[in-house]
Structure 1
Amino acid sequence: MSEYGKFRKRVYCRRCKNDTNHQILLKHTVDDEIPEYNFYMTEDYMICECMGCETVNFVKEYDDPSMHYYSPEDEEQIDHEDIQVFPPKPLTDKEETYEMKKYKHLPPLLATLYKQVVANVELKYYLLAAAGLRMIIEGICNDLSIKKGYIIDDSTGKRATDENGNEIKSSNLNGRINGLSEAKILTEGQTTILHIIRGLGNQTVHKLEEPKQGIILDALEIVEQTFYNIYELKKFDSLRDKYAKKS
């Protein structure tokens, strides 16, 4: 248990999909008081951790005299609460979960990005999910040291060349995706699909246009298959090497 102890009230956990007990990892309190008006206010800002799944979230609690009063009719003290949790509980009563795929060989950073994209999909934050999918593609290129690649001439649909007929290479994400094909990590057909996700991410980031749920789910499925093709097939390589040594 942390030095701050357990938060006094169960609050929403985005992973458990329920209100759960949380322990306070870090707490900062802001106080203000106006004595002549008998007014005070207190705000507690807390980083909390679910005591079930250990997911971390942010909790803010506000308090002032207006939130406490005596009700003559009910003959009891009435206490209101102002507790906010971030990320917040979904507004819809219908909670949706996405079944994440399990990967044994996925690099830690890509695994983290994948979890965050899925969390945004479950919360229906499709703008953030689209941006995260684009970041995953960049992360794959970084992990595999793909620095650049050819680009396509939009007017001809072929690889762009300079005045001397040499292929033009680019270090932007467009070129780096094609670099995956040049390195024979993915086929040209597979990289074409990644270009669609790249375009989706660009449209989201630059134009702030929210994509539809179906498009995001299709893109996420493609990324999952890409993870499998690039990283999980390594187990078959090790199996091949193992039997090659025996023969």
Structure 2
Amino acid sequence: MKKLGEKVYCSKCKQKTNHHILLTYSQESNSTDDFHWHAEYHIVQCMGCENICFVYQYGDEDIWDYVDGQRAWVDDFTVYPEEPKKESVESKLFDKMFKIKKKDFRNAPESIQNLYNQIVESLKMGHDILCAAGLRTLIEGICVQLKIKKGYLYRPDGSKIPDEEDIIRKHDSLGGRIFELYDRNLIIFPQALILQKVVKFGNDAVHRMETPSYYTMISILDITEKVLYDIYELKNHKLLKDEKSDE
């Protein structure tokens, strides 16, 4: 049996393999035509797994490539079933951008909701610097709205950090105020640690014009939305209201 002139995708082997030609139907232009072409329709069999598929082979005077440094006419081979297309990183990001949807935090102050909406729009538009800076501003806005002015600083292991005088005291920095959210049981400790990183990302965006990757920004937004939900929505959950009415 004659071998197909090019490796094509085998749906069973999941890769391009050599194929035997079982049957061929051919067509071609007339010798008197201005444009010359040829086409072959093959039923082929994988030389590895013996799977059967269909291949369309086509060539004309406009299809050429350099072979061993010399210009040569080549054929296009199209196999059916076709090889699955690999989704590029760019297309994945593009799809992800349009899947981002704003959430409605009904119990959050209007200023917090509006800022959150602007952050989501910035991310969808690819304005990563504005998004990172906005997330930092949102965290500070939450602290301001809850009248949180100071808080202890913590190490990742949960121990408190003393100041330069080796005294454990509250700080009015945004880092301290974030940990005060934790101390007031409004967020959990891992969230507080992550929000510290969000603040750093925002600072880097404003002062160094640097931002994390798009996927990191998506992850940060997810965590920030969880924080907004825990602080403003969870205490007003329908099941908690039903529990009170049952008493």
TM-score range relative to shorter protein: 0.5 to 0.7
CA contact (8 A) 1:105 1:232 kept: yes
Query: Which residue, out of 132, 137, 140, partners 1:138?
Result: 140
Residue 106 of structure 1 aligns to a residue in which SS? coil
Q: TM-score, normalised by structure 1?
A: 0.55
Could you tell me how far apart the structure 2 residues matched to 1:102 and 1:241 are?
A: 19
Shift of 1:157: 7.6
Query: Which residue, out of 147, 150, 162, partners 1:148?
Result: 150
CA contact (8 A) 2:104 2:113 kept: no
Count of residues in Structure 1 that have an aligned counterpart in Structure 2: 152
Deviations 1:187-236 (A, max 9, x none): 21221111121111111112111332111111111111111111111223
Q: In the TM superposition, what are the counterparts of 1:39-188 in structure 2 within 5 Å?
A: 96-97=97-98, 98-152=100-154, 158-162=159-163, 166-188=167-189
Identity %: 34
Could you tell me how far apart the structure 2 residues matched to 1:196 and 1:212 are?
A: 14
AA at the equivalent of 1:221: D
Look up the match of 1:227: 228
Could you tell me how far apart the structure 1 residues matched to 2:195 and 2:165 are?
A: 29
Q: TM-score, normalised by structure 2?
A: 0.55
For the pair shown, which has the larger CA radius of gyration, 1 or 2?
Answer: 2
Could you tell me how far apart the structure 1 residues matched to 2:163 and 2:103 are?
A: 43
Q: Structure 2 vs 1, CA of residues 150 and 106 (structure 1 numbering), >3 Å: closer, same or farther?
A: same
Q: CA RMSD in A?
A: 2.6
> After TM superposition, which residue ranges in structure 1, 4 or more long, deviate above 3 angstroms?
162-166, 238-246
Could you tell me how far apart the structure 1 residues matched to 2:171 and 2:188 are?
A: 19
CA contact (8 A) 2:155 2:161 kept: yes
AA at the equivalent of 1:208: M
Return 5+ residue gaps in structure 1 as ranges: 1-93
Q: Structure 2 vs 1, CA of residues 103 and 169 (structure 1 numbering), >3 Å: closer, same or farther?
A: same
Residue 116 of structure 2 aligns to a residue in which SS? helix
Shift of 1:114: 0.8
CA contact (8 A) 1:180 1:186 kept: yes
CA contact (8 A) 2:154 2:179 kept: no
